[in-house]
Structure 1
């Protein structure tokens, strides 16, 4: 059976900074933690024969006491898989033009987590080009 609407995001990447979670005594039912997750993709430039990488940063909102406790010890560089919903937050911002102030709507997007899975760090394969064998290096 097909559902009429779907809003799901699956991200796998590395934390760009330590998890932002409230202190233990500050965790309420409305508390939330924030993660900043980096994903990397890119494209091959055929003209220059080189890989052009692209890093995207995703703000992950982790709602509720369960997630606040779960992500508390997560640190920059941790490898995670996050499943959630993409949500837009519209905010009013003041803009000054020619000395006159105007209110402008500004949208920001975040993923609201429904599942977070810590993953084992992948091994990086590095080819130094000096010999025929590849050397595995832990990142």
Structure 2
């Protein structure tokens, strides 16, 4: 048994093309960025309808291996990503009505440890109105 574990797994679609350095600019400390959309929701029993919620997750893909792997990934690809959740942030200054205020801003980011392309599902749920 591990004393601590920090692992998340997402399965979803790329929101936009992967952001990765070109092959001649990849270095040991290079990283690529993926934006992955996942959908969940709740069933509203009172109205007898499904209320979906889409979340976008920023995935950091560290190192030359991941940069090369994700460089050609395009919007709409179906992926499974495992990684470590990290909380990043710090103080910043915002101006409201001409007055400066120090605030703390944090962002949750996933650092990928495994990425796998998946076959697109045969049937996707379409929540749009249909005339047929």
TM-score by length of 1: 0.86
Q: Which residue of 2 aligns with 1:16?
A: 15
1:3 counterpart SS class: coil
Distance in 1 of aligned mates of 2:124 and 2:89: 42
What is the deviation of 1:97? 3.7
**Aligned residue-pair number:** 129
What pairs with 1:84-99 in structure 2 (closer than 5 Å)?
84-99=83-98
Distance in 1 of aligned mates of 2:107 and 2:125: 37
Q: Which has the higher contact order (CA 8 A, sep 6+)?
A: 2
Which stretch shifts more, 107-116 or 89-98? 89-98
For the aligned residue pairs, the C-alpha RMSD in angstroms reads: 1.9
Structure 1 gaps of 5+ residues are: 131-139
Q: Which residue of 2 aligns with 1:101?
A: 100
Structure 2 gaps of 5+ residues are: none
Deviations 1:85-136 (A, max 9, x none): 00011132211244331222210011000000000111116798x7xxxxxx
Q: Which residue of 2 aligns with 1:123?
A: 122
Distance in 1 of aligned mates of 2:102 and 2:16: 32
Which stretch shifts more, 49-58 or 97-106? 97-106
What pairs with 1:61-72 in structure 2 (closer than 5 Å)?
61-72=60-71
